[in-house]
Chains A and B, each alone.
Chain A
Amino acid sequence: MFQRQTKITNTIAALALLAASHSHAGATLDHVQKSGVLRGVLLESYPPFSFLNSKNQLDGFDVDVAKAVAKKLGVKLKLDTPSWEVIAAGKWGARWDICICSMTPNKERAQVLDFPAFYYNSPAVLIANVADKKTSSIKSLEGKKIAVQQGSSYESYLQKKLTIEAPNAVQPAYPFNKVVIAPYDNEELAFQDLALGAGKRVDAVISNLVTANERISKTGKFRIVGSPLYQEPNWVAVDKGDAQWNARVKQVISELKKDGTLSAISKKWIGSDITN
């Protein structure tokens, strides 16, 4: 009996040690350098930032930035596409090294992920059905239903508790009283519902300017309402706890900014430079 107990205690201690050992400082940097592979995560259906193109390849702004980072590091790039919840939950358990996946640092995310470098800005905007002439601002939607992706920063914004956790970030203002929040498991369904017409299932959707413009130009079913709601900085995210890796990522991104790579990628996909 005693022996068994010590065995169990030993096992737990060993497991705890193992768990601790893979998150020591410099572990991610070591892994990237030794294996010669940068393992990135991003979304597979977020055009124009990252999507599956007609040749069955991941393509887009985020993908090109990830490729540029890997090239700068002198390693190969391997991309994985787990769901947003899995990425944003952090604790990657040494599975992935980096997330160049259009993430805005907020309070909750900053508790489980580190955000070493800013790489682009895309403001949050309100989107209405193209046939809806009445909606003129978020204030005019009092008591109406606004759809957002579940777990997104837009949801926190509508709950009036979004804190952007980045240096020099401009915190959003909330010029509306009471709206009904409709969280969607996926943004696609939110837009399908908005396409049915204002007031059918939802009255508006909040998303970001760049993806909204892409959708408007491809479908012609929506319009952007008024001026942007707030500025939304997007940062590179990494798993918590490797300061050396954070520093290296920060350095690489700033080099890419300096040599014009980032702005070239931005012009290629978005038509303007959103990386400042």
Chain B
Amino acid sequence: MKLENRFRLQVGLVMLCLLGGFVWFVQAFGLDYQFALSKLPLLAGLELSPEGFIQGIPLTLLLCLLSTVLAVAIGMLSALGRLSSNPLLYGLATFYNSFFKGTPLLVQILLIYLGLPQLGVVPTAIPSGVAALALCYGAYLSEVFRSAILSIHRGQWDAGKALGLRPHAIMRHIILPQAMKVAVPPTFSMFISMLKDSSLVSVMGLWELMFLAQSYGRSAYRYMEMLLTAAILYWLLSIVLELFQHRLEQKLSVSARR
């Protein structure tokens, strides 16, 4: 117990030193912090946009939340498709995976936003952004899920069969609960990555966190101030996600020990 406390203290000191280094680096820029502070409530989304819609952090979170739910569903389906012996499902999943992992997210956003209107469907910015983020991250998550499923020992399948369970029951009740535990850390890394990539949707004129930071910065010639503020806000949001991940991991490991 004493050893553990000492370790914690040392880790805390190391992190404090690094944070100090970062603060020193940033203060060397000689920035106008008063300006950044005055824009903080706007970035945090305490005010609505001129159109009366949410802006800043709430919009970023809304986009990420919708995209995450969709991406997890798409990723799961695609992972199952990639593990399937049905040529149609396997082909679909593999092509989808390859395309959305292999092309830039910005291009995917613009393909949906600018491409679909040429076919007569005119999606607005939020559905286009959510669709692009969900499709892109669904492809990455599908690989996370697939490897998590494959990491479960074959013996688990054999045991399930010996109990007379059907394959989909084995998958649902034996394999997936165990695979979930393996998948949690990389899945949360994806969520954090998506949080930041969601700034790409600003090309469609969505007033999310990064868009506002850049706009205020350029409009008042205080660019670095605003970029730095946005960086800190993204960092704080990702720390919240990390804490959530930590708790989820603990919960899952407790249930596995039982």
Contact = CB atoms under 8 A, between A and B. Distances in A.
A58 B216 CA distance: 11
A17 B120 CA distance: 8
A238 B134 CA distance: 32
Contacts of B167: none
B204 A53 contact: no
B205 interface: yes
Interface string B47-87: 10111000100000000000000000000000000000000
A215 B218 CA distance: 10
Contacts of B215: 44-45, 51-52, 81
Q: Give the interface size class of chain B.
A: 20 to 34
Contacts of B114: 86, 89, 91, 93
Given A56-B49, A82-B205, A85-B203, A188 B117 contact: no
Interface in B85-118: 110, 113-114, 116-118
Interface in A37-84: 41, 44-47, 51-53, 56-58, 78-83
B120 A15 contact: yes
A219 interface: yes
Contact of A56 (B47, B110, B120): B47
Contacts, number: 85
A24 interface: no
Contacts of B47: 56
B117 A192 contact: no
A18 B217 contact: no
A108 B113 CA distance: 22
A22 interface: yes
B151 to A, nearest CB: 41
Interface residues of A, number: 37
A19 interface: yes
B165 to A, nearest CB: 38
Interface in B187-229: 202-205, 207, 211-212, 214-221, 223-224
Contacts of A247: none
A80 B205 contact: yes
Contacts of A169: none
A183 B214 CA distance: 19
Contact of A19 (B49, B120, B216): B120
A160 interface: no
B42 interface: yes
A131 interface: no
A205 to B, nearest CB: 14
B122 interface: yes
B117 A56 contact: no
B119 interface: yes
A58 B205 contact: no
Given A56-B42, A56-B47, A85-B203, A188 B119 contact: no
A93 to B, nearest CB: 2
A57 B120 contact: no
- Top 8 nearest A-B pairs (CB, nearest first) are A93-B117, A18-B120, A45-B218, A51-B219, A82-B205, A83-B203, A81-B205, A44-B215
5 contacts: A51-B219, A52-B215, A95-B122, A186-B214, A188-B214
